Every structure is written in C-alpha cells, then in structure tokens.
Amino acid sequence: MKEKRTPNSRISVRFKSLVPAKKIKSKKGFTLVELVVVIAILAILSAIAIPVVAATTRSSVVSKAKTNANTIEYAFKEADAAVANGDDTKYANASANNIKISEVVEANNLYAVLEPENLFGTLYYPVVCNGKVYFAADSNGDGIYNASDKSIDGKNLPDNAVALYDKANNCLADGNITTLNLSSRKN
C-alpha cells in the first residue's frame, strides 16, 4: 500500500496495489470420507435408539392398559359391594341385584378406559375373569377369551374370561355385573 500526501493537508490517502496478493486456497465442503463417517455414526446411533424407543413404547402401552384394568376392576368391585350391601346410593338397582355393566361405566365415567389398547397393530380388549380385569387379544380368533389367549403383558389368560367390549359392534358389551363373577360370595 502506498500513501499519498497532499502538500496542504495532513490527510493521507491509501491506494490499493494493483498487483493481486497470493490467492489462498480455501477448503469448502466435506470430503466423501467425512460424509461416510458421519453417516456411519448416525446409523450406529439409530440402531441403538430404535429398540430402546420400541421397548419404551411397549412399556408405556402395557402400563396404561394395566392402570385402566385396575380402574375398571375397582369400579366393578365397588358396584359388587353395593349389591352385597343392598346400597342403592350410587347404583339405583343395587338392592335388586340388577346393576348393568353400562350403569357402572356411566356412573364412573369409564368410557375412555374401556377402549381397546393398540400395541404394534394388535388390539387388546378388556376382559374380566374371576374378579380380575385384563386387556387381552383373542389370539386364535375363536371369539372366546381363555387360557389360549394372551394378556397385554404376555401372560396367558385364565379360562372363561368375559369380554367387556363387543368387537363385532365396536361398543361396550352390556349385561348384569353378576355374570362377571366379581366376588366369591354366592348370589
């Protein structure tokens, strides 16, 4: 750079040189090797993460189904206790031993918890057996829930479970709660 001064001023002006300086080569972008390494790292991370996410998803659906089953079970046992005590406070027909499943569902707002649970494409429906509620799939498609069918947590069902959900009509299966064998007392 050259400086030029004018005689009457103290201002200096700089002029750029007309000769270009050495051009510095800049490295722009990534090499093929760098891209392959990054893709390989992403593949390894996804191979580790996918099974963990799937297990977490399965665990959360199973936990939700068990919680819903406990909620349903509690409501039916409460209704069964009302029948045993002849208490018509919550259920109008308790003293007549004629409480319907739909009456228990409505009184306890159980519509959402009675919905089938979907676990990786398999629907699990609420069933009652010996006073316990399960979510189970009809494994062999015979329309009967028994020991040949599995509950949502992978265990075999007890024999002669009663379905609470009508798959054919996609709605609640209704009937008297005494058909569910909720307690060991004799009717």
pLDDT of amino acid 44 = 95
pTM above 0.75, yes or no: no
How far apart CA 43 and CA 160 sit, in angstroms, is 48
- Whether 91 maps to a domain, the answer reads yes
CA distance 137 to 120: 12
Q: What is the CA radius of gyration of the chain?
A: 36
**17 has a pLDDT exceeding 70:** no
Is position 167 within any domain? yes
pLDDT in tens, 72-81: 999 988 888 8
Count structural domains, the chain. 1
Position 126 in a domain: yes
On whether residue 185 sits in a domain, the answer given is: no
Whether residue 164 is contained in a domain is answered as yes
Identify the domain containing residue 129 by its residue range: 67-180
Place of tokens 């390894």: 44
Residue 15 lies in a domain: no
**pLDDT tens for each residue of 31-71:** 999 999 999 999 999 999 999 998 898 899 999 999 999 99
Q: Is residue 8 part of a domain?
A: no
